[in-house]
Structure 1
Amino acid sequence: MVSQPEIPFDRKSMPGHRTYFETLCRVVSLALEVLRSRMYPETQEPRYHEIREYKQRIQRMLAEATPHLRHRDQCRTLAEHLERTELRLHSSYLLSVLCRVSLDRHSHLDEQRRALIREECISSLISTIDAFVELHEINSHCSRSWISLQRSIASAFLLVVNDDSPQTWELIDRLEKVLADHVYADGDAEHNNRTDSAKHLSSSLRALREIRETFRARKPVPSMTISEPTTYSPLILPSPPSIDTTPSLPPNMVTAGGPMEDWNMRNILGRVSDVMLFPSMSGTSPVA
């Protein structure tokens, strides 16, 4: 049994008034619990009742948070808006990870339960991306966090191949604008003169745009060319709730309109692992 530190609640802390730090610690604690449960080879896919229990625990954590973490109109300062948005992003992402089994048509879930969990997964992916876009609109510097970027980009790839609705593409439009803001933050600088992070984000932005064109045209588009950095070794930055460092792409991925038959689409999705490579924060060597 792996021990885990207790949540550092303040002595005056109580349900309905849990601070941002306390609530985020509870979310991280649950994420670590899920991660540990998936580390054993004999671990099976999460059952319906387990997913529902995890969801209820997340909802309880959020319900016990202080009002400004739950309601936008309760935020009075910039810091409170940032805390609310960050908490929404990370809790939504965790819930989407818990529900991803529903995206596999061959999962153990029956059709009725799979449909319910799938709806929850899609909703959580949307909430993750929407929270990230809102974070950027509040303060563009705060949307540069690599963990927030990674989770939002991963959610975007998973969302577009499972929900080809106008609402999804409207949200992807907003995400692309955020990524473009970061990629072109240095103005018209040439690709080789951009920062390492901008080069990596440009790969994600290009991949999203290629997927969009594939959906629209349903015809081959040019393969992506990923620029390999030469001054450092890339690092895959893992997300706490998931063992894999790339989005989970079920073997029989389907969209809202039916199975994906476009092999070019599969090729683009197969390169998601490339666009999820993140540079060293020091610029000289990968982060351990």
Structure 2
Amino acid sequence: MKMQETQRVSAADFIRGFASWRLQAARKPVVVTHHGKDAHVLISLDDYRRLDAGTVAADDLKGSLADLAESIRDGIIVIDRERRILAVNPAASDMMGEAAALLLGRALIEILPRVADNILFGHINRMLDLRERFSGDVPGLLRPHQWLHIDLVPLATGGALVLRDISAAMEAITAGDTRKALADAIDAHGSIGHATVSVREMVEDASDALTAMAGVDATAIRRVRFSALLATGERHAFTEALEEVFRTGAPARLASSLVTRDGVAIPVTLSIAERRGVYASEGAVVVVTPC
């Protein structure tokens, strides 16, 4: 409830003029004093109901926030200024591998022994001493090869650590880097060509080695069916092999012939592997090796 201008009256005067003060309380609060000190406040019924509704709403909000902390998949650890555990949510309990009741009151470095030697410890100190926030990715805090994204949030009681396991995402990044390095190594070889094709067999990208074999430039080969680059008698076999790759997900290998711009057929070996997206196939990679 928004604070209003108040009036003050002694207890004795309030009793003698109760009817008058009751009417005045309908307009603004009346503070009743006892021996010169504020003792009671008389407010209207509408103001009281608004005040009570605000209290209920605040309680509901606190309850909702508590339910949210209990339900989210991120681990939450609340610590005091002595770095002792005040609260943990179920996700954090699961990450620690211990019941929440057994974690309360223990030192942070006891349940996270690796934190003492981690750069994160300095950020925790700054959170507690300077109310400084932090957000970053930290490896090996709970177990080797595990990555956690950690947010440090200052609180009146100390601070909170919000933990999210991002190991799968980091592994995907590493795998992507490995695949890129492999593609770079193949390109450096010079005699192995490769192309990415869509599920409709259209060439989306081709390496320099492949365009050199075919005797065309990169723009000319893009958006062309890959089978159009092959000898007429080899096209059906390639199409069948590509469909089998999409159907089963298993890589395929077949002998074929690549036709150059000058009409010369070059014997090649084609290796086909599916490019699988999150929800569906995104096409395939075709590696072309001269025989």
- Considering Cα pairs closer than 8 Å and 6+ residues apart, tell me whether 1 or 2 has the greater RCO: 1
Give the number of the structure whose alpha-carbon radius of gyration is greater. 2
Which structure carries more strand by proportion? 2
Which structure carries more helix by proportion? 1
TM superposition score normalised by structure 1: 0.20
TM superposition score normalised by structure 2: 0.20
